């Protein structure tokens, strides 16, 4: 209960839904959650999409064990979100098959336009500077458009950090990003800071829409 006996308004929920094979996207997702949680009245909720590869194949690819403390999402759960940020690695300039399989499973939501009007954003991981920091995001916008979701890019709201050119930095006006290299490179502090900014920015958008 709030002052005067009124009900305390529930926090708006931003689902951070991602696929991460080697942990790069997951590192961005966790930092995005910090950004979301820093905005009063909004909370970030982490979810993994289902894995489509067998454990045998994942072991052959030397993929680390998934963080089992982060639950796996089902399509119908998206209805509960006030906003969604989708994260995934690139596969030849577009999203990984695991995330595509998840979007492919949202047919009933699409049919009923259950996600129409929800704000959504994107964040990515690529291997190289020419590996799809922008194309991986913009080819995913079609998924949001067919669901009727409202794409929320970050533009250049990160300020001077968007213009860093003397060091490697993932991310673009479409959303946060990380360069994984051969898999051994971890996200830099600049890349993580951009992810945190995206979380804060998205939370602000969700609050603004809720008041309108």
Q: What is the pLDDT of residue 7?
A: 63
108 belongs to a structural domain = yes
**pLDDT interval class at 59 (50, 70, 90):** very high
In whole angstroms, how far apart are CA 59 and each of 50, 64, 111, 114?
17, 8, 37, 37
Burial of 71 per CB tally in 10 Å (0-12, 13-18, 19+): exposed
Does some domain include residue 57?
A: no
- Percentage of the chain exceeding pLDDT 90: 82
165 occurs within a structural domain: yes
pLDDT computed for residue 1 by the predictor: 45
Identify the pLDDT of residue 5: 52
Q: What is the pLDDT of residue 211?
A: 87
Band of the pLDDT at 191, cuts 50, 70, 90? very high
Measured CA to CA, the distance from residue 106 to residue 166 in angstroms comes to: 41
- Say what the pTM is: 0.93
Domains in the chain: how many in total? Answer: 1
Number of neighbouring beta carbons within 10 Å of residue 99: 23
Pairing of strands 177-179, 119-126: parallel
3-class state of residue 108 by DSSP: helix
In a domain, 199, yes or no: yes
Question: Which domain range does residue 40 map to?
Answer: 13-51+69-209
Q: Contacts by 51-57 with C-beta closer than 8 Å and gap 24+?
A: 51/98, 52/97, 52/98, 52/101, 53/98
Residue 137 tokens read as: 């995001």
Mean pLDDT for the stretch of residues 124-149: 93
User: Is 63 within a domain?
Assistant: no
Handedness of CA 177, 150, 103, 202 (dihedral sign): positive
pLDDT tens sequence across 67-93: 999 999 999 999 999 999 999 999 999
Inter-residue contact 11 to 45 (CB < 8 Å): no
- Asked whether residue 153 is domain-assigned, the answer is yes
Higher-pLDDT residue of 203, 130: 203
Q: Is the pLDDT of residue 53 over 50?
A: yes
Return the higher-pLDDT residue of 40 and 181: 40
Task: Identify whether the C-beta of residue 111 lies closer than 8 Å to the C-beta of residue 75.
Answer: no
Is the model's pLDDT at 35 over the cut of 60?
yes
Whether 3 has a pLDDT exceeding 60, the answer reads: no
More reliable by pLDDT, 41 or 132? 41
Q: Is residue 58 part of a domain?
A: no
The pLDDT, as a whole number, for residue 84 is 98
Is there a domain that residue 136 lies in? yes
Which CATH number fits the domain that encloses residue 177?
Answer: 3.40.50.360
């Amino acid at each position: 209960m709030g002052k005067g006996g009124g009900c305390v308004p529930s926090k708006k929920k931003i689902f951070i839904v991602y696929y991460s094979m080697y942990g790069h996207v997951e590192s961005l997702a966790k930092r995005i959650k910090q950004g979301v949680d820093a905005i009063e009245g909004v909370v970030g909720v982490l979810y993994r999409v289902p894995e489509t590869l067998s454990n045998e194949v994942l072991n052959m690819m030397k993929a680390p064990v998934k963080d089992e403390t982060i639950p796996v999402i089902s399509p119908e759960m998206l209805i509960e979100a006030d906003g969604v940020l989708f994260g995934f690695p690139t596969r030849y300039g577009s999203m990984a098959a695991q995330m595509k399989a998840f979007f492919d499973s949202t047919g009933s939501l699409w049919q009923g336009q259950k996600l129409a009007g929800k704000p959504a954003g994107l964040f990515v991981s690529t291997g190289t500077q020419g590996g799809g920091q922008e194309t991986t995001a913009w080819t995913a916008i079609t998924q949001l458009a067919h669901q009727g979701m409202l794409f929320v890019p970050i533009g250049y709201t990160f300020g001077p950090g968007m213009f860093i050119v003397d060091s490697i930095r993932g991310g673009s006006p479409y959303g946060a990003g990380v360069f994984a290299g051969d898999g051994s490179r971890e996200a830099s502090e600049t890349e993580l800071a951009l992810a945190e900014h995206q979380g804060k920015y998205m939370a602000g958008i969700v609050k603004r829409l809720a008041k309108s």
